[in-house]
Amino acid sequence: MSFAAGVVFAAGVAHGADTPPKILGAVSCANSSCHGGGGQNQNQFLVWSLKDFHSQRPAATLATARAKQIADALEIKDATADARCTVCHAPLNELPENLRGENFKISDGVSCESCHGRAENWLRSHTRKDFTRADRTSAGMRDLQNLYVRANTCVACHQNVDASILMAGHPELIFELDGQSVAEPKHWNAEKNGNGAQAWLVGQAVALREISWELAQNESPTENEINRWRGLVWLVKRAGKMDSTLPAPPDITFRPNEESFQLVQKWGDDLAIAAAKISWTEKLSQTTLSALANTSADFSEAVPQPVNARRAERLVLALDRLVAGLPELKNNEPVQSALNQLFKLAQSVPDFETKRFADELQTFSAAVTIRP
């Protein structure tokens, strides 16, 4: 279980309860007068069940030929039933019988309650007009408008994969809250989505916490794992300087040891909490974009090539989300052309060319310079 998985599990326990509330099942939300109707604000269940990859795709992935190859390498008899696989792909698989509601179905996959919390204590009450957001949260409904809570809900299955599973062929994961939210079919009101650039920073801070947590548990992390960590530490340190109210990073000088991992884990969590609370403005997005775009000097031959590659990997995602939040830039052809080139150059760690990336980053920086 990751650091975030523990947070998410605790959030589903009702105050004062001896056992967690039951999961009632996705169909409990699907009444035509609730989330299963055809109206603009009532079709959320239909969007999730018909369009959202969380509905069927994660569990179905475990039955593919590629999943079987990974399972064979790990000596797993059945990927669709092994907890190492189902914990993310079919999270309802291991739920005890006493916590299964009347309409519970394992086949629901990553369903309503996976994100919104176990519904037994709030399903009937959450539609009451006199219920506030605080009332719903107190009853156990997860407050996904809070970017820190939202990031914690998603990151456990979107960032870390056990080293043995990676070695068996599972792809690396990169958690990026804003971009992944934008790519998901919307079953929520757009005004509740929050600021995209702010969601990006909160998500990156939480991702850093998770990577640091995983490394702190690992007695012998690989060079590749450490380089991924170094790349993200670099990015988050750069971005975190843009607001003076955000907590400063610890002085670790990139020492890859358990103490450093634990210090960065705590800083990542503190930063995520603080970043979720600040009043994000367009000016802050512009300042952050400008600062990150002007980092070509950081991509020098003095830095090991794999570390530069990992910095670039995270940086291009950051630039993309910051540009997307600035109306004067998101449809700007020179900006998009330079950004697309950066994405191409950052696609492969082994093939990464530091100087070419640094040069193209300067081109991008010139393109995003906002003149009065």
Q: Where are the domains of the chain?
A: 1-141, 144-240+254-276, 281-372
Asked whether residue 16 carries a pLDDT value surpassing 60, the answer given is: no
Contact 206, 180 (CB under 8 A): no
Render pLDDT for 270-288 as a digit per residue (tens, 0 to 9): 999 999 999 999 999 999 9
The DSSP bridge partners found for residue 23 are 100
What is the DSSP code (8-state) at residue 298? G
The residues near 164 (Cβ < 8 Å, ≥ 6 apart) are 74
Answer whether 6's CB lies under 8 Å from 112's CB: no
What is the Cα–Cα distance from 310 to 351, expressed in whole angstroms?
Answer: 12
> Would you place residue 317 in the very low, low, confident or very high pLDDT band (cuts 50, 70, 90)?
very high
Give me Rg for the CA atoms of the chain: 21
Band (pLDDT 50/70/90 cuts) for residue 211 is very high
Q: What pLDDT is recorded for position 2?
A: 62
- The count of other CB atoms within 10 Å of the CB of residue 37 is 16
At 19 the pLDDT is 80
- Position 37 scores a pLDDT of 79
CA–centroid distance for 339 within its chain: 22
- Look at residue 371 in the predicted model and tell me its pLDDT: 52
Q: What is the pLDDT of residue 188?
A: 83
pLDDT tens for each residue of 143-181? 999 999 999 999 989 988 988 999 999 999 999 999 999
Question: Is it the case that residue 366 has pLDDT exceeding 50?
Answer: yes
Q: Cβ(208)–Cβ(264) under 8 Å?
A: yes
Question: How far apart are alpha carbons 308 and 230 in whole angstroms?
Answer: 9
Three-class SS of residue 328? helix
Q: What proportion of the chain, given as a percentage, has pLDDT over 90?
A: 70
SS3 call for 237:
helix
Structure tokens at 267: 């800083």
Q: Express each pLDDT in 59-101 by its tens digit.
A: 899 999 999 999 999 999 999 999 999 999 999 988 999 999 9
Percent of the chain with pLDDT over 70: 94
d(Cα 165, Cα 39) in Å, to the nearest integer? 43
- Determine the pLDDT at residue 6: 45
Q: Which residues of 51-84 are buried (b: 16+ CB within 10 A; e: fewer)?
A: ebebbeebbbbbeeeebeebbeebebeebbeeeb
The answer for 253, left when phi > 0, alpha when psi is -120 to 50, beta otherwise, is left
For the segment 207-218, the average pLDDT, to the nearest whole number, is: 95
